[in-house]
């Protein structure tokens, strides 16, 4: 259990590092929704790892496997939706029609 907590702590620290790199290097403008999705996806991943590890410690391998499948699957789904939100952006109601507009008076 102590080892599990330590590993989860390392993952959190590593996540902070990755977020820092992502922030500086991405070509996309990540909105608050994108960041929320990234954080939520990571938290569910942590939960999946903690759940499965705890089930293995109590000698319930089936519960561990089903937990990893279920919560890991949720992680992937949230991650995929977040990726789409980041790449495509949030749909807006008004579009800027400056393209091709003549500047002549």
Partner 1 sequence: MAKEEKSIPDEPATKVNRRQFLKLGASTGIAMAAATAALEGGALVDPKQAYAGVIKTHDEIPYEIPADHKRYNQRNHMFGRARSGDPEVGKMAEHFLSHRFNGYDGVESPGYTVLDGAAARASFALDWYVNGENGSGNSNTGLYAWRPKLIDFLFRWGDPDRNIHSPGVKSPEEGTMAVKRMAKYFGAHSVGIAPYDERWIYTETFNGEAQKFTPPDFGFEPKHAIVMTIPMEYKGMSCAPTFLGSAEVGRAYNMCGVVAFSLSIFIKDLGYHAVAIGSDTSISIPQAIQAGLGELGRMGLLVTPDLGPSVRICKVFTDMPLNHDKPISFGVTEFCNSCKKCAELCPSQAISYDAQTTVGPSKISSASGVKKWYINPEKCWSCWGDDNVRSCCGACIAACPYTKPEGWHHTLVRSITGTPGLSPIMKNMDDLFGYGKLYNEQAATDWWKE
| Least CB distance to partner 1 at residue 35 (A) | 18
Helix orientation angle between 61-88 and 32-57, rounded to the nearest 10 degrees: 170
- Is 104 an interacting residue with respect to partner 1 (CB under 8 A)? no
- Is 56 an interacting residue with respect to partner 1 (CB under 8 A)? no
Residue 65 near residue 50 (C-beta atoms within 8 A):
no
- Is 87 an interacting residue with respect to partner 1 (CB under 8 A)? no
Q: Looking at residue 62, what DSSP letter applies?
A: H
- The residue within the footprint of partner 1, chosen from 2, 3, 27, 58 (CB under 8 A), is 58
- Is 63 an interacting residue with respect to partner 1 (CB under 8 A)? yes
**Which residues neighbour 7 within 8 Å (Cβ) at sequence distance 6 or greater?**
49
Applying CB under 8 A, the span of 14-22, 32-40, 76-84, 90-98 interacting with partner 1 comes to 14-22
């Amino acid at each position: 259990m102590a080892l599990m907590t330590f590993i989860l702590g390392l993952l959190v620290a590593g996540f902070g590092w990755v977020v820092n790199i992502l922030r500086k290097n991405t070509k996309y403008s990540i909105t608050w929704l994108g960041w929320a999705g990234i954080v939520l996806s990571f938290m569910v991943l942590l939960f999946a790892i903690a759940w499965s590890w705890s089930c293995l410690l109590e000698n319930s391998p089936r519960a561990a496997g089903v937990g990893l499948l279920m919560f890991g699957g949720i992680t992937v789904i949230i991650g995929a939706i977040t990726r789409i939100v980041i790449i495509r952006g949030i749909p807006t109601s008004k579009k800027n029609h400056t393209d091709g507009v003549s500047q002549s008076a």
